[in-house]
Structure 1
Amino acid sequence: MTVTIDRTVCVNPTVRSAPSSPVALGPIAAVTGADEYAPLADGATVRYANFDYAASAPALEAVRDAVTEALAEYASVHRGAGHLSQRSTARYEQARDVVAEFVGARPDDHVIFTGNTTDSINLLAACVPGEVVVLDCEHHANLLPWRRIGARVVSAPLSVAGTLEAIEKELSRRPAALLTVTGASNVTGEVLPIRTLAALAHRYGARIAVDGAQLVPHRRISLRDSGVDYLAFSGHKLYAPFGSGVLVGRADWFDEAEPFRCGGGASYQVIGTPATKSVEVAWHTGPARHEAGSPNVLGAVAIAAACRELTRIGEDAIARHERFLTDLLVGALGELDGVRTLKIWADSTERVGIVAFTVDGRTPREVAEYLSNDHGIGVRDGKFCAHPVVDRLGCPGGAVRASLGLGTGEHDVHRLVRALEDLTARTN
């Protein structure tokens, strides 16, 4: 017999996730899947508690509605004279304008739609005219693409202050074209001082790129105000999981580099030369140069809708919601015997809603499976595509990551903590 458990209650009847006060902090945005139920090992079902936002965030309902509306007028872009082609082209280019405004792009910056953050950083790597300085604590998406063009990897010391000193030492030792850093760690959620790093890079004649995959969904960043030269992020982290990403930044490197992908739309003229059995190509400048092929119109529409909705909710409201829940989670985990939360920099003070931890006597996969099978809670386990830093944090077998977002409520945090209380009691 299938038993349905009340939405606010864990499967274990002695472990309830009632809020700590009569008025608990709830979600601040409507996300798809909020009413999904998960089957449990004992045959019951429970409302699914999603703590895997850092991997792929659920779509905002506003994003879903925008994509549904655009589907009715979906057609080819940039090439058709028909009404629907014109409408789709307009939506696509309007999405570019919305993104530019959302990230505070400068008037001459290019906004290029890509597949995701990894795609964006590989594109940028194909355009950088020189060496790159990168930290070893990066997600692989902002570590591996630079190897082929001469990356100089800096080992991040155990403090933010020490990390800034190490970066400055490397930049002063030999000129570099680019410093590239994470906006927020995908392992611990810790945020580096981006403005300070931008000023530091510029002092030594380098530009700065920010992997914003984990930062942009949680904190607004303005390229114009921060001094950041390039910013990459993904739709699927930004509550717009429709297969699109963004790379925004200064035009000259993009316009001078060979197209990242060659094909239709990247060129404005191709002439066959029979005498030499070859073709001559005149490439576009601007975003089109690196957006060959039929673009992901619906992905761009989704990202733009997410940007509009996050703007409507407001940066301050998002930050307050997230800080409360993150502090609640970190504080509660710190009181559990055998649970260790991870931190890269001892002196870091700012973080987004990502918390990584280990449980003594349990592998990360055991913890993740227990939370899913016994409590209907989804977390991530492993090394999170950031192997060097996870190893350095003393977790060769990986860790567990709980990440939250706009659809997370205080009752979800209590469910997670009480489930871990149950687990550690069994372990001890």
Structure 2
Amino acid sequence: MSTVLSDPFITSLAAAPLPACPQPTPIPPLAEVVGATAHVPLCSGGSVRYVNLDYAASAPALAAVAGAVQAALGQYASVHRGAGHHSQVTTVRYESARESVRAFVRGRIDDAVVFTRGTTDAINLAARATRGDVVVLDIEHHANLLPWTARERAGGARVVRARSTIEDTLAALEAELAAAPAALLAVTAASNVTGEVLPIGRVAALAHRHGARILVDAAQLVAHRPVSMVSHGIDYLVFSGHKLYAPFGAGVLIGRADWLDAADPYLAGGGASAAVTLDDAASASVEWRSGAARHEAGSPNVLGAIAIAAACEALAGIGFETIGTHEAELLGRLDAGLAGIAGVELLRIFDDSTDRVGIAGFVVDGHAPREVAEHLSDTAGIGVRDGKFCAHPLLQRLGFPDGAVRASFGLGTGADDINRLVEALHRLQA
């Protein structure tokens, strides 16, 4: 590899002078993430520090999370049924992880905390446990759409078309719930396409007024905003570790235990079964466990659970007021930068939304989304996402059936990263 080029941008790539970027008070990253100093090759030769603006897909691991996993590896063993010291220690760590999650999202003391493979897995488990109609919006990520529409014999999925404002969308949801009984309202707290945040407390209240419970897909929310299941009135909450700076293959479903205890075990196997006998016909009679164990058959992802707990504790330690201020400053800089580039259009679902996490979906006139993403990677060492973001109906209704570009950021992002993105897009449009 040739000599590393300087940051924040590669001066030799300048085909034309760029407009001067405003230089307010510098905004450094808020926390140390793994890979922050990694360099990537450029099509022009040489390399540059990688700018990761794809947090909404998978956030990098916090250094504190990687450290917690590394510390646990030295005593890693099976959980729950081992008498050895390492097994006992690992069991305590695994079960303590549940309590860290409960505290992080302010869950009720009797809520079940089930570790899953991620948000998609958690919602599929919830779908198995839900009996009755489920109401969803048409703007959902596929993870909070397909598990409900694919159910058989468990009740229908009633899809409500989101309106142009949040207020009108809430009114449409209330009208649908008032028109016919529903067991559950399932909504995404923050859009993975635009970052816009719904007022979850109000949504939960309208669900409860009509006798429905609420499931909140918080995959794009929990790393950016404080969540209180008690204060917001959330019955079920799901999220993924890999969007919470804990990319070790685990997720969470936390919520009321009665539906989960009444449901068939998510997987049949050891751990979920309390007692098994065989009759002469070689058919099994099984006594299934209740609680989280009922849906965690097999060897659980212990390290993934420990990673999620470490991330929850790290974010709580930083504080969401600090996190919110950091992201608001970066988002303001990003929005202003995009607004100053001819042909760039920022995606919005609602005309009246006022809260957004660190996500910007946009299109660039005259350039396909993949072309834009490749330009950013090849010429500036920037990683973004392009495509339909597993939200095909939403992209269609926004008028971009071929997809868009998404830049997303978090604790490891600084102002220099946002500046580089804006400069690279200026070059593309020059």
TM-score bracket for this pair, using the shorter chain length: over 0.9
Partner of residue 173 from structure 1, selected from 161, 176, 179 = 179
1:393 corresponding residue in structure 2:
398
In structure 1, distance between residues paired with 2:341 and 2:20: 19
**Alignment check: 8 A CA contact 2:358 2:410 kept:** yes
SS of the equivalent of 2:129 reads: coil
- Does 1:189 pair with 2:195? yes
Aligned residue for 1:125?
A: 127
Contact 1:76–1:294 under 8 Å retained in 2: yes
Asked if the contact 2:385/2:406 (under 8 Å) is kept, the reply is: yes
Q: How big is each residue's C-alpha offset from its partner over 1:218-253, in whole Å with a ceiling of 9 and x where there is no partner?
A: 111010110010000000000000000000000100
Alignment of 1:63-142 (within 5 A): 63-142=65-144
Superposed displacement of residue 9, structure 1: 2.6
The number of residues matched between the two structures is 424
Pick the aligned partner of 2:303 from 292, 298, 303.
298
> CA RMSD of the aligned region, Å?
1.4
Go from structure 1 to structure 2 and tell me whether the alpha carbon gap of 1:368 and 1:11 turns closer, same or farther (over 3 Å shift): farther
Deviation digits for residues 239-291 of structure 1 (CA, Å, limit 9, x no counterpart): 000000000000100011100111000011111111x4311111100000000
Is 1:342 the counterpart of 2:344 in the alignment?
A: no
Which residue is equivalent to 1:361?
Answer: 366
Give distance in 2, aligned partners of 1:122 and 1:398: 26
| Matched residue, 2:386 | 381
Tell me which residue corresponds to 1:352: 357
1:244 aligned partner, one-letter code? A
TM-score by length of 1: 0.97
1:371 and 2:376 are equivalent in the alignment: yes
Aligned to 1:282: 287
TM value normalised by structure 2 = 0.96
Matched residue type, 1:313: I
Contact 2:13 2:379 in 1 (8 A): no
One-letter identity of the residue aligned with 2:409? L
Which amino acid in 2 is paired with 1:94?
S
Contact 1:10-1:17 within 8 A present in 2 as well? no
2:9–2:380 Cα contact (<8 Å) kept: no
Task: Give the equivalent residue in structure 1 for 2:36.
Answer: 34
How far off is 1:148 after superposition?
2.7
CA distance in 2, matches of 1:248, 1:277: 36
1:359 is aligned with what amino acid? Answer: V
Query: Pick from 319, 322, 326: which aligns with 1:317?
Result: 322
Aligned counterpart for 2:216 among listed residues 207, 210, 216: 210
For the Cα contact (< 8 Å) 2:249–2:304, is it kept in 1? yes
Q: What residue is the counterpart of 1:5 in the other structure? A: 5
3-state DSSP class of the match of 1:134? Answer: strand
Post-superposition offset of 1:19 = 7.8
1:11 deviates by 5.3
Instruction: Answer whether contact 2:141 2:391 (CA < 8 A) is retained.
Output: yes
Amino acid at match of 1:402: A
Residue type at the aligned position of 2:74: A
**Structure 1 outlier segments of 4+, above 6 Å:** 15-19
CA distance in 1, matches of 2:407, 2:242: 17
Return the alpha-carbon distance in structure 2 between the equivalents of residues 329 and 47 of structure 1: 19
User: How far apart, CA to CA, are the structure 2 residues paired with 1:297 and 1:7?
Assistant: 39
SS at 2:242 equivalent: coil
How far does residue 415 in structure 1 lie from its aligned partner after superposition?
A: 0.4
Q: Is the 8 A contact 2:214 2:236 kept in 1?
A: yes
Q: Give the secondary structure class of the aligned counterpart of 1:107.
A: coil
CA contact (8 A) 2:135 2:185 kept: yes
Query: 1:248–1:16: structure 2 CA closer, same or farther, 3 Å change rule?
Result: farther
Q: Which segments of 5 or more consecutive residues in structure 1 lack a partner in the other structure?
A: none
Q: Give runs of aligned pairs for residues 389-428 of structure 1, distance below 5 A.
A: 389-425=394-430
The amino acid that maps onto 2:75 is: E
Residue 253 of structure 2 corresponds to 247
* Distance (Å, rounded) in 2 between the aligned partners of 1:146 and 1:10: 48
- The alignment-based identity, stated in percent, is 59
Which amino acid is the alignment partner of residue 177 of structure 1? A
Q: Is the CA contact (8 Å cut-off) linking 1:54 and 1:237 kept in structure 2?
A: yes
Could you list the runs of 5+ residues in structure 2 that have no partner in the other structure? none
Shift of 1:124: 0.2
* Letter matched to residue 5 of structure 1: L
TM-fit CA distance, 1:334: 1.2
Q: Give the Cα separation in 2 of the matches to 1:206 and 1:17.
A: 53
In structure 2, distance between residues paired with 1:323 and 1:195: 22
Query: In 1, distance between residues paired with 2:24 and 2:340?
Result: 23
